Amino acid sequence: MAAPRLFRPAARLLPSRLSSTPLLPNFPRVARAPSILCSRGYASEAGAKEVTVRDALNEALAEELEGNEKTFVMGEEVAQYNGAYKVTRGLLDRFGPKRVIDTPITEAGFTGLAVGAALAGLHPICEFMTFNFAMQSIDHIINSAAKTHYMSGGIQPCNITFRGPNGFAAGVAAQHSQDYSAWYGSIPGLKVVAPWSAEDAKGLLKAAIRDPNPVVVLENELLYGQAFPMSEAAQKNDFVLPIGKAKIERQGKDLTIVSLSRCVGQSLNAAAQLKQKYGVEAEVINLRSVKPLDVETIIQSLKKTGRLMCVESGFPMFGVASEILALSMEYGFDYLTAPAVRVTGAEVPTPYAVGLEQMSFPQEDTIVNQAAKLLRL
Amino acid sequence: MILLADSRTLYRSLLSSAKIPRRWGSSISQRPGSDRVRFPGAVNSKFTTDMEFINPTEVSHIPTYRVMDSDGVLVDKTRKPLDIPKEQILEWYKNMLTVSVMDVIMFEAQRQGRLSFYMVSAGEEGISVGSAAALTPDDVVFAQYRETGVFQQRGFTLKNFMSQLFANQHDNSRGRNMPVHYGQNYPRIHTISSPLATQIPQASGAAYALKLQTLQNPDIPPRVVACYFGEGAASEGDFHAGLNIAATRSCPVVFICRNNGYAISTPTLEQYRGDGIASRGIGYGIDTIRVDGNDIFAVYEAMREARRIALSDGGKPVLIEAMSYRVSHHSTSDDSFAYRARVEVEDWKRRDNPIIRLRKWLENEGHWNEDIERDTRDQLRKDVLKEFGEAERELKPPLRSAFEGVYEEVTEEVQEQMQDLKRIIETYPEEYDIRQFKDGINGL
C-alpha cells in the first residue's frame, strides 16, 4: 500500500515543464520561517548560511554514505527519480546503484530486507515515501528491528535508520496526514527523533545513522523547502547532535512551551506574539528527540516558569503531549502554578478541504489564545 | 478451558479412541508403488528422476486475448459476429470520450490551482469502461484511483464528479476526502482508498459476503465483486494475501489488473520479474486470462466470461490482466518526462489507444465520422465546463458538517464549540462571510 505514491506534493514545488502558471495559489504553505529568527539575526552570524531542511538531510545522507561504506539508502523512487521529495537528489550519481537502491512498491518487502541487512551487519537507511506507508511494514520496524537486540540477549544488534516525512502535508487528506510520533515513541527498543530546523535535520539524521540502534527519523514534508540559518559548525561533516537532548530555542520566565517538529516554528511565532501583545516571556523547548525524552530540560524549565504547555500536531489522546503532561505531574507537580495544557491536532481523521484541514491542527493563534487562557491574561 | 479434574477423563477418552485407527475421508497417504506424489501439499504430481529446475524464461508466455487489431479490424474472420448492440458500443465510446475530455480539463484546472490534485486515466479508458459494461448494477466494485471510466459507465454523472472534486454541498464526502476518491451507494462502488492494494483482500471479503447472502437468501440475484488495481499494487503483500484468501474461500471476485507499464516512475522491469501479473494467478489456482486493454471488445468479452466463471461452482475468483500503456502522468504531482521519453508517450498516444481503436472500428462500420466526432467532443467539452463552473460556484456543505462525522452524536464539548462559533458569527457578522455555506448561520 503505499499509495501515492499517489501524491508527491513536493514535486509540485519543483520546476515542471508542464506548468506555466504558479502552482496552487489556493494552497498557501502555512509554514514559514518564524519571525523570531529574523529578529535574532542568525543569518548575519559569521559563517552561517541559509540551508533548506531538504538540503540539510541530503548533506547528512551524502556525508554518512561517504564516511561509512556499510550504509546504503533504500526506498521507493530514491535513486532514478531522486526521491519523491528530492531528499536523495544526486546520491545515485555519486554513490552508484549498490548504495542507492530503488524498490518495487512493497513496503513490507524492502523494510524487511533492510532489517535483515541490518541484522547481518550493514547500516541501512530505509526511506518511506511517507510514514503513512510504513504502516504496511510496521511489523518489521516494531517486532523485528526494535526487539531483536533485546530478545537475542544482546548478540544481535540492528543498526538501521527509518526516515521519511511524517505528520500532515497540504491537501492529502486522512490517509496521508497523520503524526506517528506517539506510535513509535511508545516502543521500547526504538529511538525516535523529530527534527525542526536544518541543523536539527542534519545533526539528528547523522546521529541516527551512526547510532547502533534502530532509529526512526520523523521528518516533515512542509518543512523540506524551508530555509534555516546553519552555523559554521553545523556545516562541517562531523556535526552530530546528541539523541535525547532537547534544545531551548527561546529563553523565557513566564511559560514553558514544549514542542516538536513543525510546531516548534509555530510556537516560536506564538511566543513572539505573546511578548508583543502581553509582554509575556515564553520559553520554547524544541524536543528534537521523542525517545529518549529529555525530561530534565522540561522539568528545569517548568521549575523556572511554573507553567507548562505542550504543542504537537498528533491526535489528542495518548499522544506526546499527554506523556509530557503526565511527566510534569510526576516530576514537577509542586512547581506547577496552573494546570498544564496541551494543544494538539483535533480528534478527527484529517479532512481534505483546506479550511477544515487548517482547523484540524494547531495554528499560531490557537497557541497564543491557549497560552493567554493558561496565564489568565 | 479444561479444568484439571476433567483433563484426566479427556486423556482417557483420547487413549481409548487411539486404539481404533481412524481415517478421515479427506486424508491422504502415499500408496506403495504409485508413480505420483500423494503428499498433502501436492496430490497429483508425477515422480521424475530428471532433476530439472523450471526456468521461467523458457516457459512460453501467457498469450494476450484480442478481438480487434490496432486498425479497428476484427482479427479472427471466422469468429461469430459481435453480439453487442450498436447503441451500446456507441455509449461505450461516448463514455470513454467523456472521461478523456474531462481529464484534460481537470488536469489543466489543477495546474491553474483550482483544485489540489487530480489523476487522469488516458490510455486506460478501455479497460475501465469495457469491464464495467459487463457488470450488472448489483455487482460491487472496489477500484483503485484510475478507474474514472468505471464510475462513468455505472452512471456517475458529470455533476457527481465535479461535486466531489470541488468538495461542495453535493459531495458525498463533504470535503473530507481527496479529489478523485469517488464513491457511490448504488450501483455500489466502495469509496476509493489511497493506500495501495488494501482493496484487494477487502474485495475478497466483500465477495465472500455476497456469496453467503445468496446462500442464505436465494432470491438475491448472484453477484460478483470487481476489484481493480495496477501492476505496481500487485507488489504489495495485500495482493498475495487477497488472491490466496479468495482462492481458498472460493470467493466470487474478478480481479482486474491494469498493467500500464509504470508505477509512478518505476517501470515494470523493476517492478517484477516473471510473466506479468497473470502468471501469479495460476500459482494461486485462479482462472486467469491476459487481454489487450486497448481493445474494448476483448476486455468486455473477457469480463463477461470472467463474471460467469466467478459465479460457477458456488463461486470462485478470476484474474484478468489487461495490458495498456499509461499515456498520462501518474498524477498531477508527477512529471513523467523525467523518467521516460516524450516521444515514447506521443507514439502510444497517436498509434494505439483504446479510444482511437474503437473509433476506427466505428468508422469502418459506418457508425461514426469526423463530423460526429467533432460535434460530440465540442458538446462534451461544453457539458464538462458547465458542470465545472457550477460545481465551483456551488455552496459548500453546511458549517455543521465541520463538527460532525467522528461520533454519531456530537459530543457535549463539540456542541459547546458550535454554540460558541454561532455566537461569535452573530456578534461580528461583518467579519465572517458565511454566504458560501449551505443554510448560512442556520447550518450550525
B208 within a domain of the structure (yes/no): yes
A-chain residues within 8 Å CB-CB of B331?
4, 6-8
Task: Mark yes or no for CB contact B331/A7 under 8 Å.
Answer: yes
Angle (CA) B394-B395-B397 rounded to 5° is: 130
C-alpha separations of B416 from B413, B421, B438 in Å: 5, 9, 21
Residues of chain B contacting A353 with CB distance shorter than 8 Å: 167, 175-176, 396
Residues B149 and B195 in one domain: yes
Exactly one of A64, A127, A176, A357 is catalytic; name it.
A176
Does residue B439 share a domain with residue B374?
no
> Taking residues A67-82, what's their average pLDDT?
95
**Closest CB from A14, A18, A353 relative to B111:** A18
Q: Which of residues 372-391 of B touch A (CB under 8 A)?
A: none
Give which of A224, A205, A223 is closest to A215, Cα–Cα: A205
Residue B66 lies in a domain: no
Question: Burial letters for A138-173: b for 16+ Cβ neighbours within 10 Å, e otherwise?
Answer: bebbbebbbbbbeeeeeeeebbbbbbbbbbbbbbbb
**CA A240, CA A208: separation in Å to the nearest integer?**
9
Domain match, B423 and B325 both: no
> What is the CATH number for B208?
3.40.50.970
* In chain B, residues 389-408 whose CB comes closer than 8 Å to chain A: 396, 402, 405-406
Query: Any idea what DSSP says for residue A143?
Result: I
Q: Which of B238, B329, B402 sits opposite A1 (nearest CB)?
A: B238
By the 8 A CB rule, do B113 and A23 touch? yes
In a domain, B22, yes or no: no
What is the distance in angstroms between the Cα of A173 and the nearest Cα belonging to chain B? Answer: 6
- The answer to whether B432 and B423 are in contact (CB under 8 A) is no
Catalytic site residue from A107, A127, A283, A364: A107
Q: Does B116 touch chain A (CB under 8 A)?
A: yes
Chain A nearest CA to B181, separation (Å): 10
Please list every residue in chain B whose beta carbon sits closer than 8 Å to the beta carbon of residue A12.
332-333
pLDDT-above-70 percentage for chain B: 94
The yes-or-no verdict on residue B101 having pLDDT over 70 is: yes
- Taking contacts as CB-CB distances below 8 angstroms, the residues of chain B near A316 are none
Are the CB atoms for A221 and A178 separated by under 8 Å? no
Partner-chain contact B237 A19, CB within 8 Å: no
Domain shared by B299 and B223, yes or no: yes
- Residue B41 is placed in which grid cell? 501439499
> Nearest C-alpha of chain B: how many angstroms from A28?
11
B191 C-beta neighbours (distance < 10 Å), count: 15
Nearest neighbour of B337 by CB, restricted to A17, A353, A356? A17
How confident is the model at residue B333, as a pLDDT? 82
Measured between beta carbons, the chain A residues lying within 8 angstroms of B238 are 1, 136
Distance CA A90, CA A83 (A): 10
The strand pairing partners of B288, in sequence order, are B319
User: A48: distance to nearest CA of chain B, Å?
Assistant: 34
Is residue B271 in a domain? yes
Using H for helix, E for strand and C for coil, what is the string for B378-422? HHHHHHHHHHHHHHHHCCECCHHHHCCCCCCCCCHHHHHHHHHHH
Q: Tell me: the pLDDT tens digits for A150-200?
A: 999 999 999 999 999 999 988 889 999 999 999 999 999 999 999 999 999
Residue B116 is predicted with a pLDDT of 86
If you measure CA to CA, which chain A residue comes closest to B397?
A353
CB pair distance less than 8 Å for B195 and A3: yes
In this prediction the ipTM stands at 0.78
Residues of B belonging to the active site: 108, 194, 330-331
**pLDDT reported for residue B17:** 52
Q: Which residues contact B293 (CB under 8 A, 6 or more apart)?
A: B124, B126, B127, B258, B259, B260, B299, B322, B323, B324, B354
Please name which of B69, B14, B120, B114 lies closest in space to residue B388, comparing C-alpha atoms.
B114
Q: How far is B335 from chain A (nearest CA, A)?
A: 7
Residue B272 cell numbers, joined: 517484477
Instruction: List the single residue in A106, A170, A351 with the smallest CB-CB distance to B236.
Output: A106
Q: Which residues of B touch A359 (CB under 8 A)?
A: 402
- Alpha-helical segments (H) within B217-295: 237-248, 268-271, 278-283
Q: Do B196 and A11 touch (CB under 8 A)?
A: no
pLDDT for res A38: 39
Residue-level length of chain A = 377
Ranges of H-type helices in B166-226: 199-216
Residue B10 has a pLDDT of 53
Long-range contacts at A94-98 (CB < 8 A, ≥ 24 apart): A94/A62, A94/A65, A95/A65, A95/A66, A98/A72
CB contact under 8 A, B337 and A9: no
Predicted confidence (pLDDT) at residue B120 exceeds the cutoff of 50: yes
In chain B, residues with a C-beta closer than 8 Å to the C-beta of A76 are 264, 266
Q: Which position has the higher pLDDT, A207 or B80?
A: A207
Contact A268, A283 (CB under 8 A): no
The tens digit of pLDDT for each residue in A192-244 reads 999 999 999 999 999 999 999 999 999 999 999 999 999 999 999 999 999 99
Quick one: B374 and B347 in the same domain?
A: yes
B386 and B403 part of one domain: no
Residues 123-152 of B with CB under 8 A from A: 145
pLDDT tens-digit map of B412-437: 999 999 999 999 999 999 999 999 99
Whether the CB-CB separation of A10 and A224 falls below 8 Å is answered with yes
Query: pLDDT tens across A250-266, in order?
Result: 999 999 999 999 999 99
A237: three-class secondary structure by DSSP: coil
CB B399 within 8 A of CB B443: yes
Considering the domain boundaries, does residue B360 fall inside one? yes
Number of helices and strands in chain A (H, E): 15, 14
User: Are B347 and B425 members of one domain?
Assistant: no
Residues B317 and B383 grouped into a single domain:
yes
Q: Which is nearest to A127 in space by CA: A68, A71, A196?
A: A71
pLDDT digits (tens, 9 = 90+) for A85-108: 999 999 999 999 999 999 999 999
**What residue numbers bound the domain in which B425 lies?**
399-443
Are the CB atoms for B324 and B260 separated by under 8 Å?
yes
Q: Strand, coil or helix: what is B190?
A: strand
Contact A227, A218 (CB under 8 A): no
**A309-366 tens-digit pLDDT:** 999 999 999 999 999 999 999 999 999 999 999 999 999 999 998 889 999 999 999 9
For range B225-233, the mean pLDDT: 96
- Pick from B370, B393, B416: which residue ends a domain? B393
Residue B349: exposure state from Cβ atoms within 10 A (0-12, 13-18, ≥19): middle
Considering chain A, what is the average pLDDT of its residues?
89
**Cβ count near A97 (within 10 Å):** 10
Q: Are residues B295 and B370 in the same domain?
A: yes
Among A18-22, A212-216, B90-94, B253-257, the range scoring the smallest mean pLDDT is A18-22
Residue B124's nearest CA partner among B262, B286, B310 is B262
| A217 close to A205: Cβ distance less than 8 angstroms | yes
User: Other CB atoms closer than 10 Å to residue A22's CB: what's the count?
Assistant: 9
A105–B232 C-beta distance less than 8 A: yes
- Show residues of chain A in contact with B421, CB under 8 Å: none
* Cell numbers given for B176: 473530507
Give buried/exposed letters for A207-234 (b at 16+ CB in 10 A, else e): bbbbbebbbbbbbbbbbbbbbbbbbeeb
Do the Cβ atoms of A6 and B331 come within 8 Å? yes
Scanning B276-316, the segments in alpha helix (DSSP H) are 278-283, 296-311
Nearest CA in chain A to B271: A104
Tell how strand B266-267 and strand B262-263 pair up: antiparallel
**pLDDT tens per residue across span B10-68:** 555 555 555 666 766 667 777 788 888 878 888 788 999 999 999 998 999 999 999 99
Q: Is B113 close to A27, i.e. CB distance below 8 A? A: yes
Whole-angstrom Cα distance, residue B131 to residue B107? 25
Query: With bands split at pLDDT 50, 70 and 90, how would you rate the model's confidence at A17?
Result: very low
Q: What is the pLDDT of residues A263-281, one digit of tens each?
A: 999 999 999 999 999 999 9
User: Which of B175, B266, B331 minimises the CB distance to A104?
Assistant: B266
Residues B324 and B409 occupy one common structural domain: no
How far is the alpha carbon of A331 from chain B, nearest alpha carbon, in Å?
A: 30
Domains within chain A, CATH numbers bracketed: 43-235 (3.40.50.970), 247-374 (3.40.50.920)
A131 DSSP 8-state letter: T
Task: Please identify among residues 173-202 of chain B the ones whose CB lies closer than 8 Å to any CB of chain A.
Answer: 173, 175-179, 181, 193-198
CB pairs under 8 A between A and B: 151
| Chain A neighbors of B263, CB-CB under 8 A | 5, 104-105
What's the CA gap between B230 and B228, in Å, rounded?
A: 7
Tell me, what amino acid is at A159? N
Same domain, B305 and B413: no
Q: Could you confirm whether A107 is annotated as catalytic?
A: yes
What would the pLDDT profile of A108-128 be if each residue is shown by its tens digit? 999 999 999 999 999 999 999
Are residues B157 and B101 part of one domain? Answer: yes
Does residue B37 belong to any structural domain of this protein? Answer: no
Query: Does residue B4 form part of some domain?
Result: no
Query: Domain total for chain B?
Result: 2
Q: Which distant-in-sequence residues (6+ apart) come within 8 Å of B300 by Cβ? A: B84, B92, B130, B131, B133, B134
Say if residue B108's pLDDT is above 80.
yes
Instruction: List b or e across B70-94, with b for residues whose CB sees 16 or more CB atoms inside 10 angstroms.
Output: eebeeeeeeeeebeeeeeebbebbe
Q: Say what the pLDDT of residue A21 is.
A: 37
Three-class SS of residue A103? coil
d(CA B268, CA B280): 15
Average pLDDT over residues B195-220: 95
List, as ranges, residues 46-75 from B with C-beta within 8 Å of A: none
Q: Residue B227 domain-assigned? A: yes
C-alpha distances out from residue A232 to A50, A142, A206, A265, B358, Å:
11, 37, 16, 22, 65
Which residues of chain B does A26 touch, with a Cβ-Cβ cutoff of 8 Å? 113-114, 116
Quickly tell me which residue has 462513468 as its cell: B152
Contact A5 B264 (CB under 8 A): yes
